[in-house]
């Protein structure tokens, strides 16, 4: 039989953005209704309760002080003055994040995990938001009330954090012990705000709640002294070893209903963690925005479920356990209703251990979308949901103020678009997106005004927090829509759009890296990519394109990488081909990135690799230039606003119109799990000479990549390698006369008639044909060379591996020109003719001769080194007359 029914209303990643203005009141109204529908109900968050952006920033406006917004709110919330406390707040002040925390205080959250974004402004800002600022003997002088719930993390060490160590307690206390309400203020009591765990009492039962924070915290946020216990990488064994003693303490107090609120960012980690923990019944997962839902759940338009609600599994004891998660930004209220037996084991309605989703009452369990329709369905009408005194009404009072403040931002417009500009989490952390491209392009354009040598722009997808545009009720992606309140027209991109998308507003930094380091940097960018993963380190780029295969080992995923002209998309430098760095691995590349990444954020290796760093952003209090002055020069928001104004100006003929593509059609970042690699594919250029003597230089007269070059008559010269590392795959025909051709990798060159020189010394994979005439061919590595008609000369360099045919005439095959040990692979001569052709050997010393050779089979050897093979020929029959030595 069942002994205790518990409802857990849950969320994570509230991260109030622009959408929160309309949906946060709905969220509060739904919680207000649902918490009364079950006798025993608690409300939990898995962290990331606020985030930089317009919502967070609005709370810093003086209107909250001057218009008594917070004073009125908390006097109403605490029913002040009353028969017990004849006092009220009169001095509560504005401050970033205080709207976010006030919404949570109104809703009545019982506890929250600490996420990574709580630290984005540093530990001091986190402390200021959650701790009270009591002044004087009465309430009238208090400046802030702080959070009225505990923040939990059992795997963070606060001891060296001057801002938070005083707010932390290692004791496991009731969640009410963390409240800084009027009674605490008047008593002058010191109240903790952070703990590893807490105890919530509901219906005469005690529920233990333990917090866990991502082990990557120090690389993806900005704690000031707070450190992660144990490893700084995702290691669930290590995390379980830290959490289990805290769980044991709860069990030691007789608590047999235990919830973990965890902010691990990838739900797969919570699925792994639960199997390593004893005594845990429920995990509320945060950071991944994974929507769990069943077929009977109504989701927002365009949303899909990543798994069932809940995920039913087992803990380390083999007892039933469940994992819940839902999307953030107030989009859903997660609702879990479960039954426990007397031993604290999750059971179905018949008292049997829970072993599948259908054992639960699916009519009660699942995500509740925070839509107007859902609110009206629960309350009977929206008027009832937002009546005076309701949680929905109190939250709405706050969001109405925020709406008025952000409307001014929405009236400040900079560019125009015909399409939805994709920047949603699931896309921007897994594939190339239009907003990722647009922002990276803007950063590159600005950087090049400071330093014209900058070629590449790299930023992290996790820094893009929202798309620019709207999704209609049937899932259609639309450009920004008209806002009659602010005066913005459909398609216009406003300050609010930019601030909401690039909420962190990082500055830009220039760095110099080598070609090999650029590959390693992008390898890190895709190192965490894979099925179901949405890593914040995933790159968005400009001035470069690449392909990757997430099925390969980490560190070997980049298959092709090229620097491109951002205006034409033409390849200007090949960095990686077939997974290997091409050309000089130490050649330098100047790039622009975010100062967050330049400092090692998201574990990017810029501090190890990047040299000659120059920060090109200005302080917030510096004078601001250009048409956009709402953000500091050289910041992400400023560069995007200026780029839009320059390229897609309001009232101009051009509007942004690049439509988002699926991974199958992405070209800048190509995921080889979805498409073929075309990064290095070639668009041939036809280059024609004149009847006169032409001199055609790669990189000047043609790009040298897959070109068709015809010079015609005249003593012509074609030099492909001058095009640089991209030089390859050209087709060259020089026609009549005595021509000179220097070829690149995989080039095919035909000299035609005349005594031609074909030079492939530094090339590989080429095809050379001399044609008629007495031609001279210098060979590189793994090529094919045919002399044709005439007395031709072939000179082998260090590489080897060539297949050589002289054709008709008396040909010279100079099969060795240096130390035999430098010859990687023997060369093969396929048509040597005794008495006509000659085999030449150079630079082996004055005394070296025929007797120093070892001949047998089809091989010619010096010591143990084979220097050449003669196809279909027994070399033992060769005589000294067949050789020439120099």
| 184 Ramachandran zone, left/alpha/beta (phi>0; psi -120 to 50) | alpha
Average pLDDT (835-856) is: 93
Clarify whether residues 748 and 848 are in a common domain. Answer: yes
- Integer-rounded Cα radius of gyration of the chain: 35
Clarify whether residues 371 and 428 are in a common domain. Answer: no
- Label residue 684 by pLDDT band (50, 70, 90): confident
Is 210 domain-assigned?
yes
Strands annotated E in 762-824: 767-769, 776-781, 784-786, 793-800, 803-805, 812-816
Share of the chain above pLDDT 70, in %: 100
* CATH code for the domain of 557: 3.90.780.10
pLDDT tens digits, one per residue of 44-60: 999 999 987 778 888 88
* Alpha carbon 287 to chain centroid, angstroms: 14
Clarify whether residues 310 and 435 are in a common domain. Answer: no
Clarify whether residues 807 and 867 are in a common domain. Answer: yes
Strands 717-719 and 695-697: parallel
The residue from 638, 671, 704 where one domain ends is 671
- Label residue 798 by pLDDT band (50, 70, 90): confident
Q: Which residue has the higher pLDDT, 61 or 738?
A: 738
Is 680 domain-assigned?
no
Average pLDDT (405-421) is: 93
pLDDT(636) > 80: yes
Name the nearest CA neighbour of 261 among 282, 239, 240. Answer: 282
Whose structure tokens read 């500091």? Answer: 632
The residue from 646, 671, 696 where one domain ends is 671
Most distant CA pair in the chain: distance in Å? 122
User: What DSSP designation does 843 have?
Assistant: S
Is 406 domain-assigned?
no
Clarify whether residues 72 and 181 are in a common domain. Answer: yes
- Report the chain's mean pLDDT, rounded to a whole number: 94
Clarify whether residues 391 and 498 are in a common domain. Answer: no
pLDDT at residue 188 in the model: 86
pLDDT(344) > 70: yes
pLDDT tens digits, one per residue of 300-312: 998 999 999 999 9
The residue from 671, 705, 740 where one domain ends is 671
Name the nearest CA neighbour of 718 among 772, 760, 684. Answer: 760
Q: Which residue has the higher pLDDT, 681 or 377?
A: 377
For residue 780, what are its two tokens?
């590189």
- Of 408-422, 531-545, 795-809, where does mean pLDDT reach its minimum? 795-809
- The residues with which 698 forms a beta bridge, in sequence order, are 702
- CA 154, 160, 161: angle at the middle one, nearest 5? 80
How far separated are the first and last CA of the chain, in Å rounded?
99
Is 790 domain-assigned?
yes
pLDDT tens digits, one per residue of 124-157: 889 999 999 998 889 999 999 999 999 999 999 9
Distance (Å, whole) CA 130 – CA 95: 11
Clarify whether residues 721 and 653 are in a common domain. Answer: no
Clarify whether residues 207 and 324 are in a common domain. Answer: yes
- Of 560-564, 588-592, 720-724, where does mean pLDDT reach its minimum? 720-724
pLDDT at residue 822 in the model: 79
Is 679 domain-assigned?
no
Please say whether the beta carbons of 426 and 443 come within 8 A. no
Clarify whether residues 611 and 721 are in a common domain. Answer: no
Clarify whether residues 630 and 768 are in a common domain. Answer: no
Please say whether the beta carbons of 391 and 13 come within 8 A. no
For residue 409, what are its two tokens?
């931002």
Share of the chain above pLDDT 90, in %: 84
pLDDT at residue 234 in the model: 96
Is 534 domain-assigned?
yes
- The residues with which 259 forms a beta bridge, in sequence order, are 209, 282
pLDDT(643) > 80: yes
* CATH code for the domain of 811: 2.150.10
Distance (Å, whole) CA 364 – CA 8: 11
Is 724 domain-assigned?
yes
Clarify whether residues 360 and 424 are in a common domain. Answer: no
Average pLDDT (542-553) is: 97
The tally of domains found in the chain comes to: 3
Distance (Å, whole) CA 313 – CA 319: 8
pLDDT(299) > 90: yes
Q: Which domain range does residue 316 map to? A: 4-397
- CA 507, 508, 509: angle at the middle one, nearest 5? 125
Per-residue buried b or exposed e for 734-765, using 16+ beta carbons within 10 Å of the residue's own CB: bbbbbbbbbbbbbbebbbbbbbbbbbbbbbbb
Name the nearest CA neighbour of 293 among 371, 372, 377, 362. Answer: 362
Whose structure tokens read 């409802």? Answer: 7
Is 681 domain-assigned?
no
- Label residue 1 by pLDDT band (50, 70, 90): low
Clarify whether residues 336 and 239 are in a common domain. Answer: yes
* CATH code for the domain of 278: 3.60.21.10
Distance (Å, whole) CA 562 – CA 575: 5
- Label residue 473 by pLDDT band (50, 70, 90): low
Which helix (H) or strand (E) segment holds residue 450: the answer is helix 434-450
pTM of the model: 0.70
Angle between helices 98-107 and 391-410 (to 10 degrees): 160
Please say whether the beta carbons of 3 and 340 come within 8 A. yes
């Amino acid at each position: 039989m069942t002994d205790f029914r518990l409802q857990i209303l849950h969320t994570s990643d509230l991260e109030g953005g622009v959408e929160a203005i309309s949906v946060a009141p709905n969220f509060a109204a739904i919680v207000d209704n649902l918490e009364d529908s079950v006798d025993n109900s608690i409300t939990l968050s898995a962290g990331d309760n606020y985030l930089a952006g317009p919502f967070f920033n609005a709370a810093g406006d003086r209107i909250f002080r001057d218009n008594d917004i917070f004073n009125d709110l908390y006097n109403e919330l605490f029913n002040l003055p009353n028969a017990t406390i004849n006092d009220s707040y009169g001095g509560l002040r504005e401050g970033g994040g205080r709207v976010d925390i006030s919404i949570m205080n109104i809703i009545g959250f019982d506890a929250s995990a600490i996420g990574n974004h709580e630290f984005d402004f540093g530990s001091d800002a986190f402390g200021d938001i959650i701790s009270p600022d009591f002044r004087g003997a009465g309430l009238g002088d208090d400046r802030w009330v702080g959070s009225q719930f505990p923040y939990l993390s059992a795997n963070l060490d606060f001891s060296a954090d001057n801002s938070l160590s005083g707010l932390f307690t290692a004791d496991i206390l009731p969640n009410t012990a963390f409240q800084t309400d009027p009674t605490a203020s008047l008593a002058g009591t010191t109240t903790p705000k952070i703990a590893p765990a807490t105890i919530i009492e509901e219906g005469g039962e005690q529920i233990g709640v333990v917090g866990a924070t991502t082990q990557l915290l120090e690389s993806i946020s900005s704690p000031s002294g707070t450190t992660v216990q144990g490893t700084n990488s995702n290691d669930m064994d290590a995390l379980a070893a830290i959490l289990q003693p805290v769980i044991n303490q709860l069990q030691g107090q007789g608590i047999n209903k235990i919830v973990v609120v965890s902010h691990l960012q990838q739900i797969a980690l919570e699925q792994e963690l639960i199997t390593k923990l004893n005594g845990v019944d429920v995990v509320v997962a945060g950071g991944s925005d994974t929507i769990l839902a069943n077929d009977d759940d109504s989701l927002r338009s365009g949303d899909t479920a990543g798994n069932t609600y809940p995920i039913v599994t087992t803990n380390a004891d083999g007892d039933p356990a469940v994992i819940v998660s839902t999307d953030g930004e107030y989009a859903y209220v997660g609702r879990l209703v479960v039954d426990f037996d007397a031993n604290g084991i999750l059971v179905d309605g018949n008292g049997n251990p829970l072993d599948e989703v259908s054992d639960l009452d699916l009519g009660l369990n699942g995500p509740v979308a925070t839509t107007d329709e859902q609110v009206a369905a629960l309350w009977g009408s929206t008027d009832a949901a937002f009546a005076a005194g309701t949680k929905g009404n109190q939250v709405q009072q706050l969001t109405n103020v925020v709406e008025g403040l952000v409307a001014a931002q929405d009236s400040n417009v900079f560019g125009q678009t015909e399409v939805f500009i994709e920047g949603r989490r699931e896309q921007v952390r897994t594939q190339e997106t239009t907003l990722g491209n647009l922002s990276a392009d803007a950063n590159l354009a600005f950087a090049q005004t400071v330093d014209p040598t900058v070629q590449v722009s790299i930023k992290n997808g996790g820094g893009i927090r929202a798309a620019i545009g709207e999704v209609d009720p049937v899932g259609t992606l639309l450009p920004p829509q008209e806002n009659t309140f602010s005066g913005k027209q459909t398609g216009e991109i406003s300050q609010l759009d930019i601030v909401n998308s690039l909420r962190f507003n990082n500055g830009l930094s220039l760095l110099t890296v080598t070609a090999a380091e650029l590959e390693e940097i992008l390898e890190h960018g895709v190192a965490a990519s894979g099925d179901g993963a949405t890593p914040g380190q995933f790159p968005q780029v400009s001035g470069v394109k690449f392909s990757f295969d997430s099925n390969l080992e980490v560190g070997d995923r980049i298959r092709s990488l090229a620097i491109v002209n951002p205006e034409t998309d033409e390849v200007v430098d090949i960095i990686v081909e077939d997974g290997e760095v091409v050309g000089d691995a130490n050649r330098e590349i100047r790039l622009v990135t975010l100062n967050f990444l330049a400092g090692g954020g998201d574990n990017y290796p810029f501090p190890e690799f990047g040299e000659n760093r120059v920060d090109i952003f200005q302080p917030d209090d510096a004078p601001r230039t250009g048409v956009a002055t709402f953000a500091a020069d050289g910041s992400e928001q400023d560069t995007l606003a200026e780029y839009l104004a320059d390229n897609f100006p309001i009232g101009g003929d051009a509007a942004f119109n690049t439509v988002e593509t699926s991974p199958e059609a992405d070209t800048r970042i190509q995921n080889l799990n979805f498409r073929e690699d075309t990064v290095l594919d070639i668009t041939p250029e036809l280059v024609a000479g004149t009847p006169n003597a032409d001199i055609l230089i790669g990189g000047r007269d043609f790009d040298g990549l897959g070109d068709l070059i015809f010079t015609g008559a005249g003593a012509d010269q074609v030099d492909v390698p001058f095009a640089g590392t991209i030089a390859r795959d050209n087709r060259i025909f020089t026609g009549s006369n005595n021509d000179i051709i220097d070829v690149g990798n995989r080039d095919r060159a035909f000299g035609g008639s005349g005594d031609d020189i074909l030079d492939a010394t530094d090339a590989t994979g080429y095809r050379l044909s001399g044609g008629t005439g007495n031609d001279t061919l210098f060979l590189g590595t793994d090529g094919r060379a045919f002399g044709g008609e005439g007395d031709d000369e072939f000179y082998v360099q260090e590489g080897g591996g060539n297949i050589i045919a002289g054709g008709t005439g008396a040909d010279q095959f100079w099969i060795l020109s240096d130390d035999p040990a430098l010859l990687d692979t023997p060369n093969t001569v396929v048509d040597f003719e005794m008495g006509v052709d000659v085999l030449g050997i150079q630079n082996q010393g004055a005394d070296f001769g025929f007797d120093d050779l070892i001949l047998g089979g089809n091989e010619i050897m010096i010591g143990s080194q084979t220097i050449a093979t003669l196809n279909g020929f027994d070399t033992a029959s060769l005589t000294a007359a067949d050789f020439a030595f120099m």
